[in-house]
Amino acid sequence: MVELPGSFSLSDADVWCAKGKEAKVHPGNKYLASVIEEHLEEYNTAVTKLEKSFVVSKIIKAIRKEGGLFVRHVRGKWYEIGSRNEREKIGQVSQCASTSTLPDDDVVFVQILMNKCLLT
């Protein structure tokens, strides 16, 4: 993890990697849930790890395009979690969603999965 400057302020585009209601309702986390939901079918039909990795890259790009970072707040300081952790966490949520019954267009369901699988 890379410590962010003391002037860092969580934006609506950032993905806050944390448990709890505040993180769950954060706009960046809601956006991530919708992006994962949009790419879930593509992830599920990907056969190889390389294909799945390509889908994860698309999800990360969508967050970055909006100016978002994947961040964690630890002991009063903000940290960017780093690309390896981003990929791992998005892969975890996608995997959880792949093995679960996903209701049609249910972003709330993906948010619940994010809370269980991603934001720890």
> Which tokens belong to 19?
């448990």
Q: In which domain, by residue range, is 92 found? A: 2-118
Provide the pLDDT for residue 86: 86
Count: domains in the chain: 1
Provide the pLDDT for residue 76: 92
Provide the pLDDT for residue 62: 95
Cβ contacts of 94 within 8 Å, gap of 6 or more: 36, 39, 40, 43, 52, 55, 56, 59
Distance, in Å, from the CA atom of 101 to the CA atom of 120, rounded to the nearest integer, reads: 22
Distance, in Å, from the CA atom of 52 to the CA atom of 45, rounded to the nearest integer, reads: 9
Model pTM above 0.85: no
Partners of 16 in the β-ladder: 71
Higher pLDDT, 104 or 5: 5
Type of residue at 92: Q
Encode pLDDT of 8-63 as tens digits. Answer: 999 999 999 888 888 888 999 889 988 988 998 898 888 998 998 999 999 999 99
Encode pLDDT of 73-110 as tens digits. Answer: 999 999 999 888 888 888 777 777 666 554 444 455 45
Strands across the sheet with 15-16, in order? 2-3, 77-80, 70-74, 15-16
